[in-house]
Structure 1
Amino acid sequence: MDRIMQYKPEIHYDDTLRVWSGGERSDYFPSHLSIGEIIYREMESHPKLIAQISATEKTVLTREELRLNAMRVASYMRRLGLKKSDIVGIIARNTTHMVAVAYACFFNGIPFHSLNVAYEQETIETLFGITRPRLIVCDGDEFERLLAATEKLKLDTTIITMRNHPLARSVRIQDVLTTPIEENFQPSSLEPKQTLAILCSSGTTGIPKAVTIANSQQVLSPAFRLDSNVQHAYSTLDWNSGLMSIIHAGAFNKTSIIAHNDFDPGFMCRMIKEYKIGVVIECSSHLAILANYPGFEDADLSSIEVLVFGGSHCSLEVQKRVRSRIKGALIFTYTISELSSPGTMNLHFDEKPNSSGRPAPGTKVKIINEQGVALGPNVVGEVCLFNGRHWSGYYGNPEETRKILDSEMWFHTGDLGYMDQDGFLFIEDRKKDMLKCQNLMYYPNEIETVIARMPNVAEVCVFGIWDTINGDEAAACVVKRQDSKLVSQDVVDFVNQHITAKYRQLSAGVIIVEDLKRSGNGKTNRCANKEHFMKVQNIKESK
């Protein structure tokens, strides 16, 4: 924790422009080097260090072994004739050789487009229909779906399977790893404006968009450079945190502890203890699951120096519960994948709980109103981010690109929040989530914050159900804590007691659910939870 707290970004506020800045940032490596070249050189310089341990497959790779595997995969791609203008598709879990595939793409300067394994067939076909990958890497579990998609899209695509291989028609990763390394192999250079990878937007408001990530050292966060050498991120490569995790591991000589199973809080706690994990990177929903795990209070979490979380709203109650169990720093990070770099980081949880933190070096923040006018401290408006770096936009979707990036290179996040007098950002809610009941505006997060205070509540999602007279009446899906006897009426009564305004009470009802509906990257999906709520309510009414 002492090392992470040495990193204190400077904060500057321009009272005229009403813009907060995290100050200047400097590159750690020669500016002409691509991310692939940096990782290649760093791995070559520290060959004997442990690069990766799989907690599920029980494999161990040194940095030399991982680099050679990546070179073999890269050589295989070159033999196929793949060029920088091509794209590699990925839809796979965190298995032993997945990072070798990603590094091979970096070494060749070929972007990969990574999708979540939970995506429906229609989403897979839509996204790969945009990027049209020449090579696709997947688990055998997804092979038939990928084969059907390539045939429908008429793609001339080679499919590599990472595990659970089908009997025929795919190339096994083990066979790819027998490819002789190209003579005098060297990683390809890549300009900062060129695309390093393509991720997917959260998809909480529809089909995810293909988000390009630039080959820029801006992706390297100084905070992660200072931390423990053993890290774990559950995220797969379609998540921004998953991509950043493998980049930092390669560039800063870290050991990654990986696992390909579904998120399991008990397994997570055992991993932390066994491998003495110092840096944990989690999404907010997993943090809530972890905090409400019955064995959490007794788990040995003493090795954790830094626990980084973000991606969506997380109740203050969950944050405090986790903070009370770790000696290291609890850091909330806020950014958007489109920025391709850290946005804000809260290194001062104890002083500013629930804040998204201050702007990272090289990043600027401003808050604007509906007319686009910048606002001063403590006034709520739309959060806008700026890092001055080139962004190629949503792949194949210039119309959506223009909606989020303005002519002055500011990203309009769609999130509502404010900056306080000390330069800390506080996120209130999604702009698109605003609801109107009885002609009065409100945000779901206002009600979620109240419900989250209930000791028997693990997670909650609030949304609006349309009523012809009142408009968007509030309703909720609630996950109760294990062994709790919480019922729907308890939640309704609690909200009635703590929110006096009738238009913000749970007039449309509550259902208790086993888990919330989530998008592919783990974020709570309001639309999907609303659909589930209406389905359950319709079933009740029909009986």
Structure 2
Amino acid sequence: MADITEFAGDSFCDIVREHAQNQGDVIAFTYAQEETSFAALDEGANRVANGLVALGVKPGERVAFLGKNHPLYFEALLGAARIGAVMTPVNWRLAPPEVAYILDNSQARVVFVGEGFAAMIAEVRASVPHVAEIIGIDAPEHAGTDYRQWRDSFPATPPAHKIKPEDDALQLYTSGTTGKPKGAVMTHGSILSSRDAMASGDEMRTWQEPIPGDVTLLAMPCFHISGTGTGIGTMVAGTNSIVLPEYDPAKALDLIANYNISKIFLVPAAIQILLNHPRVSETDFSRLKYVTYGASPIPLELMREAMRVLGCGFVQMYGMTETSGTIVALDPEDHVPEGSPRMRSVGKPLAGVEIKIIDEAGNPVPAGAVGEIATRSSKNMRGYWNNPDATAATIDAEGWLRTGDAGYLDEDGYLYIHDRVKDMIISGGENVYPAEVENALYAHPKVADVAVIGVPDAKWGEAVKACVVVQPGEELTEADLIAHARQHIAGYKCPKSVDFIPALPRNPSGKILRRELRAPYWAGRDRAVN
């Protein structure tokens, strides 16, 4: 297999086409008992591209995917990209009003719906009249267009559209600071920037090197950059992804044993769930080379157990949707069972990535001083979809992107996460903004005031807690309020607990002092994130 830096082209579509020509029989995706070769993937993507053109989809328009992980999602993503359209995967764990908002905001012309979500799309269809076609991917309960029949009715001729690096390729929605999600737009160039950095002579780290015969377990959801990024990464590398519809530790153990899995990306909560499974001691992990993990820090004791049981290299990754994934990584050699100061860091920047720590005014601070983490590289998103104000508040004129995380750099360039500048909560690898939850809770007629915070949680890292002031003369229970929230927002965003308090602490301008609410729960910890 050729080195990935040798491939020509300005997009992952071009690279997949080259793999189809040079190693067409190599398997790109495995799903249950179905295998998809690179040749079949390339042909299917061409048919999808021609099908989308027939539906009137134009360059720059969005198409959406609502469903669990499936190889046909990547085929549809490729097909859309080949005509200049942009794939928008929708978090299937969201409540119907949230799904409707994303479909409306993206103005998706076509929605691919996976098995189990026909009822969801039917419920929101009336509120998204711009959706011209709904296509079911292995969704027998969907009575409309079937994906495979639709796809195969179009020719496999490659579309003539020429992709440029600056073209939009992928739109992922992030939790919103003001209560509404924002569509982060990644380009073909930002997605392939790591490959381009390597091609320009920057050093590739050992764990980044593609090895013929590598088999990756794709277990994280494709509505996150971790899932879609993993699939695109293996397509670019020309290796096989074993796709799980959703994370299941028992199935993951089966696949590790039966398919000689060599690489996996997991969030720390998923690692813990895997290690707690009763069959973990019976599984052969000898083929496993690397477990990459991210989204939240990992406790040292959990890391020790994972290193002992899995016996492979571990790589901590730090990044965000807005940076097209990983920008900083802690290498395997920095993971030591006895622990070290560096294990509290998230590592050093990847090739081509700049990191600086800034104060509130945007001025750099010296090594060891805590400030907001800012980054600049070709990995940064183009911006937020149709939201120039949010884009300008995040990326400055010189290309520096404010991450919203507070941290510091040591003298050797290792990055340490200290806190969050924004109020975001990370629970089980999912981002939750208090504003989204508070908007849902405020809708309850008995709620007078509310603030949502993240508190430490042994399993999920952080848990959502609501601090609520009840309307005078009213009574409200924790169970009633949580049940109300579930009607409006995804279950993982709902409070796990509620504190009823007489008043919220506020500063003279009326801003809620969340740090005062959080302080008792984080007392005695060396950082205010878990």
Q: TM-score range by the shorter chain?
A: 0.7 to 0.9
Supply the distance in 2 between the matched residues of 1:425 and 1:248 (Cα, whole angstroms).
24
> Is residue 2:396 matched to residue 1:415?
no
The equivalent of 1:49 in structure 2 is: 26
Segment of structure 1 superposing worse, 388-397 or 35-44 = 388-397
The equivalent of 1:258 in structure 2 is: 243
Displacement, 1:110?
1.4
Supply the distance in 2 between the matched residues of 1:76 and 1:310 (Cα, whole angstroms).
37
- Contact 1:135-1:158 at 8 Å conserved across structures: yes
> Is residue 2:136 matched to residue 1:152?
no
The equivalent of 2:287 in structure 1 is: 303
Higher relative CO (Cα under 8 Å, sequence separation at least 6) belongs to 1
Query: Residue type of the partner of 1:90?
Result: F
Supply the distance in 2 between the matched residues of 1:238 and 1:118 (Cα, whole angstroms).
10
In the comparison of the two structures, how many residue pairs are matched? 440
Alignment of 1:325-336 (within 5 A): 325-336=309-320
Of 400, 414, 434, 1:424 maps to 414
Supply the distance in 2 between the matched residues of 1:208 and 1:434 (Cα, whole angstroms).
13
> Is residue 2:161 matched to residue 1:188?
yes
Displacement, 1:108?
2.2
Displacement, 1:288?
2.7
TM-aligned CA distance change 1:459 to 1:394, over 3 Å: closer
Segment of structure 1 superposing worse, 408-417 or 93-102 = 93-102
CA-based RMSD of the aligned residues comes to: 3.3
Matched position secondary structure for 2:134: strand
TM-aligned CA distance change 1:203 to 1:292, over 3 Å: farther
1:75-100 deviation digits (Å, cap 9, x = unpaired): 21122232212211111112342221
Matched position secondary structure for 1:150: helix
Supply the distance in 1 between the matched residues of 2:132 and 2:376 (Cα, whole angstroms).
37
Matched position secondary structure for 1:373: coil
1:325-345 deviation digits (Å, cap 9, x = unpaired): 233210010011111253101
> Is residue 2:382 matched to residue 1:392?
yes
The equivalent of 1:403 in structure 2 is: 393
What TM-score does the superposition give when structure 1 sets the normalisation length? Answer: 0.73
Of 75, 81, 84, 1:109 maps to 84
Supply the distance in 1 between the matched residues of 2:462 and 2:293 (Cα, whole angstroms).
19
Of 322, 335, 343, 1:349 maps to 335
- Contact 2:96-2:123 at 8 Å conserved across structures: no
- Contact 1:368-1:381 at 8 Å conserved across structures: yes
- Contact 1:118-1:520 at 8 Å conserved across structures: no
The equivalent of 1:64 in structure 2 is: 39
Of 343, 347, 358, 2:348 maps to 358
Query: Residue type of the partner of 1:232?
Result: L
- Contact 2:464-2:496 at 8 Å conserved across structures: no
- Contact 2:324-2:380 at 8 Å conserved across structures: no
The equivalent of 2:73 in structure 1 is: 98
TM-aligned CA distance change 1:459 to 1:135, over 3 Å: closer
What TM-score does the superposition give when structure 2 sets the normalisation length? Answer: 0.75
> Is residue 2:185 matched to residue 1:199?
no
Displacement, 1:31?
6.5
Matched position secondary structure for 2:309: coil
Of 207, 216, 229, 2:214 maps to 229
The equivalent of 1:475 in structure 2 is: none
TM-aligned CA distance change 1:71 to 1:31, over 3 Å: closer
Alignment of 1:72-91 (within 5 A): 72-91=47-66
- Contact 1:74-1:105 at 8 Å conserved across structures: yes
Matched position secondary structure for 1:44: helix
- Contact 1:281-1:308 at 8 Å conserved across structures: yes
Displacement, 1:27?
8.6
Give the % identical residues: 21
Displacement, 1:250?
1.6
Of 490, 493, 497, 1:533 maps to 497
